[in-house]
């Protein structure tokens, strides 16, 4: 029996259609849980010794004589910090030069690692780099929004093997981001509460979709998951912006993120995925109606004309089923 | 030099990033412009003689003793008309049974045709079937939105070869549809004009992105194209709903649609694509601020974390370049 479900914050709908379902383990890829890659590859711009292939680092972590993490400007960025954000209109055609800041976070010197295979301390180091670069980019008054994301595998839009994430800062807050916040603002104005905090409390209470908890964070497959095995990690503490995260919280987040990514990697055979941090725009860092979070979307299904037309995703795997499957993954197989 | 461009109606942004571009002809697939398929296939539920593999037709066109078009309920639909649209809430978790109407339009008895290879008269017949079924579904007071779409090829979400489109009627108008309409309403309330009519006039005036015109329709690669070779077909006459199309207009639309699809098929080597009719919700058929149109999105690129996070698509092929390429396609090669 299929059903519509609504995201209580954004008011977006999905269709959960279990009659179309594969069994959860049938989503598993016929490939090893770890890519068979060499620890170092000639010609990889992110491997040690090839630092001249990238622009100079904007941030790096040094261990003894070598770096263990580097953040560099994206050499092939669609946006450049040397442009201006001025907008021009000709009739209905509004445009602006491609001003923006685009950086790559090289998460490890090892070519054959991935975020989920790195030690918790190294993931914490990545999360700290995200925060520091977010703060630095948002200090530019021309920047309105900082988007931190990770594309894992070709279906998720990357062909580069070396483990890396990206940060893109734009002078624009687009409707895709603003519209759900308007709904959250309306909720706050009506009920006097953060809609995300309420949602988190309800997910914890129902338990069925939770896959992991720590002191500061909760990981769950959300009620209105658009795609099979979508995972969100919410901070328990209300804050609109990722930049408010305490250092003590980042270790906690690294632990839970590694746990979730390993469950996906081992349980589903290293699926391609996108990872994203949704965080407040510049100026909204203290907003009472916003709540930052992290989301992981494995690329297991194809969207088609119906999703394009309506934004309503048809998800054949109920998040309760996905969460139960992920909880049962035996990580000692990793 | 990359640039941001805004859709003047929806206020969505794209990044046109030509420095990342392939030359337009490099998007061309290394495959024939026509799939090498048999005219009939055993086991295909949509081939003649297999009518018992589908539920009975809700509409069909008969020529002599045989059908030339059939519309049938979708046997594997995610929604069913036998459910109820009642909504239930438990805390923040709002849901509704999977009520809806889902039908398949079998566009031809021939297994080896596609929409672009059919004669104009047959495409007109398909467009008339869309209109009649849209009207019939919208007559159910529980239905709010009728979505007509076509998935061509696996990247566009279909594995069925036999030429077909789909119609899904839902009891819900989702934010993805409603939010842009709110912008269009605001435009109308401010300027007293239809934002789509204004956009169409400006596209015609600039010419650079137009690929075809008839008495009643204009086909163009829109200013703020999200993806390479996106094509929109706008009716010149202001109407919010596709259901208002005159029969005399449908031949004109069929002609221009075939022309656009052939240019994509021959020019780009039969790319996978989604086709969609965006039309007013039930009750808004006479809205002065809405304007129905048809859109074709070839599936040439992969979206990644940045698009997921911002809704801002990075399009490496400027629509002016795409339009010039499509105008120059030699259809005598078809």
For chain A, percent of residues with pLDDT exceeding 70: 99
pLDDT of A332 reads: 84
- B276 chain-A contacts, CB cut-off 8 A: 305, 308-309
For residue range A208-232, list pLDDT tens digits in order.
Answer: 999 999 999 999 999 999 999 999 9
* C-alpha span between B185 and B287 (Å, rounded): 9
pLDDT of A334 strictly over 80: no
- Contact between B205 and B213 under an 8 Å Cβ cutoff? The reply is no
Number of helices followed by number of strands (H, E) in chain A:
6, 15
Q: B114 in helix, strand or coil? A: coil
Banded model confidence at residue B333, pLDDT cuts 50, 70, 90 = low
DSSP A250-267: HHHHHHHHHHHHHHHHHH
pLDDT of B25 strictly over 90: no
Q: Which range has the worst mean pLDDT, A28-37, A204-213, B179-188? A: A28-37
* C-alpha span between B205 and A196 (Å, rounded): 47
Cβ contact, residue pair B1, A97, below 8 Å: yes
Encoded tokens for B107: 């566009």
Cβ contact, residue pair B309, A149, below 8 Å: yes
For domain A7-85+95-333, the question of CATH label 3.40.47.10 is answered with no
Catalytic residues of B: 164
- Contact between B101 and B168 under an 8 Å Cβ cutoff? The reply is yes
For residue range A146-174, list pLDDT tens digits in order.
Answer: 999 999 999 999 989 999 999 999 999 99
Mean pLDDT along residues A261-267: 96
Q: Write the residue in A199, A202, A303 that is nearest to B157 by C-beta.
A: A303
The CATH number fitting domain B8-18+31-85+94-333, selected from 1.20.1250.10, 3.50.30.10, 3.30.428.10, 3.90.1150.10: 3.30.428.10
B17 in reach of chain A (CB within 8 A): yes
For A304-317, b/e burial (b = at least 16 CB within 10 A) is: bbbbbbbbbbbbbb
pLDDT of A152 reads: 97
B149 → chain A, closest CA residue = A305
B299 → chain A, closest CA residue = A304
pLDDT of B190 strictly over 70: yes
Q: What global pTM score does this model have? A: 0.96
B314 in reach of chain A (CB within 8 A): yes
A149 in reach of chain B (CB within 8 A): yes
A63 in reach of chain B (CB within 8 A): no
Q: How many CB pairs under 8 A join A and B?
A: 207
Q: Please report where in the chains the tokens 């104009």 appear, as a residue.
A: B120
* C-alpha span between A169 and A101 (Å, rounded): 5
Instruction: Report CA-CA distances (Å) from A160 to A112, A154, A194, B132, B188.
Output: 11, 8, 39, 49, 47
All residues at 6 or more sequence positions from A327 whose CB lies less than 8 Å from its CB, including other chains: A211, A263
Q: Write the residue in B80, B175, B306 that is nearest to A149 by C-beta.
A: B306
Mean pLDDT along residues B211-238: 98
B315 → chain A, closest CA residue = A78
- Contact between A142 and A99 under an 8 Å Cβ cutoff? The reply is yes
Mean pLDDT along residues A10-18: 96
B291 in reach of chain A (CB within 8 A): no
pLDDT of A159 reads: 80
For chain A, percent of residues with pLDDT exceeding 90: 90
Banded model confidence at residue A29, pLDDT cuts 50, 70, 90 = confident
Cα angle value A274/A277/A283 (rounded, 5°) = 145
* C-alpha span between B293 and B232 (Å, rounded): 7
- A158 chain-B contacts, CB cut-off 8 A: 304
Instruction: Report CA-CA distances (Å) from A6 to A9, A22, A308.
Output: 9, 23, 18
All residues at 6 or more sequence positions from B312 whose CB lies less than 8 Å from its CB, including other chains: A170, A172, A174, A176, B4, B12, B13, B14, B15, B306
| pLDDT, averaged across chain B | 95
- B92 chain-A contacts, CB cut-off 8 A: 8, 195, 198-199, 202, 223
Cβ contact, residue pair A305, B92, below 8 Å: no
* C-alpha span between A303 and B251 (Å, rounded): 30
pLDDT of B22 reads: 67
């Amino acid at each position: 029996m299929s059903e519509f479900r609504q995201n209580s914050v954004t008011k977006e709908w999905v269709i959960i259609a279990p009659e179309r379902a594969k069994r959860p383990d049938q989503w598993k890829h016929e490939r090893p849980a770890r890519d068979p890659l060499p620890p170092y590859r000639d010609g990889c711009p992110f491997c040690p010794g090839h630092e001249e292939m990238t622009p100079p680092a904007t941030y790096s972590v040094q261990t003894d004589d070598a770096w263990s993490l580097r953040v560099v400007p994206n050499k092939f960025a669609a946006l450049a910090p040397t442009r201006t954000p001025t907008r021009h209109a000709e009739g209905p055609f509004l445009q602006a030069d491609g001003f923006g800041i685009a950086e790559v976070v090289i998460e490890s010197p090892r070519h054959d690692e991935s975020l989920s295979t790195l030690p918790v301390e190294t993931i914490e180091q990545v999360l700290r780099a995200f925060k520091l670069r977010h703060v630095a980019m948002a200090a530019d008054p021309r920047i309105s929004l900082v988007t931190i994301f990770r594309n894992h595998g070709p279906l998720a839009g990357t062909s580069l093997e070396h483990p890396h994430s990206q940060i893109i800062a734009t002078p624009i807050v687009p409707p895709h981001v603003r519209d759900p916040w308007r709904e959250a603002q309306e909720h706050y104005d009506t009920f006097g509460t953060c809609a995300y905090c309420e949602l988190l409390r309800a997910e914890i209470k129902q338990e069925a979709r939770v896959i992991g908890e720590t002191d500061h964070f909760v990981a769950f497959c959300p009620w209105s998951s658009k795609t099979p095995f979508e995972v969100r990690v919410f901070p328990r503490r209300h804050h609109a912006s990722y930049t408010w995260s305490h250092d003590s919280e980042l270790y906690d987040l690294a632990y839970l993120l590694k746990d979730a990514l390993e469950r996906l990697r081992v349980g589903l055979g290293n699926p391609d995925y996108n990872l994203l941090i949704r965080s407040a725009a510049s100026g909204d860092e203290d907003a009472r109606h916003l709540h930052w979070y992290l989301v992981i979307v494995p690329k297991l299904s194809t969207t088609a004309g119906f999703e394009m037309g309506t934004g309503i995703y048809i998800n054949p795997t109920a998040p309760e089923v996905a969460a139960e499957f992920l909880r049962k993954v035996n990580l000692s197989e990793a």
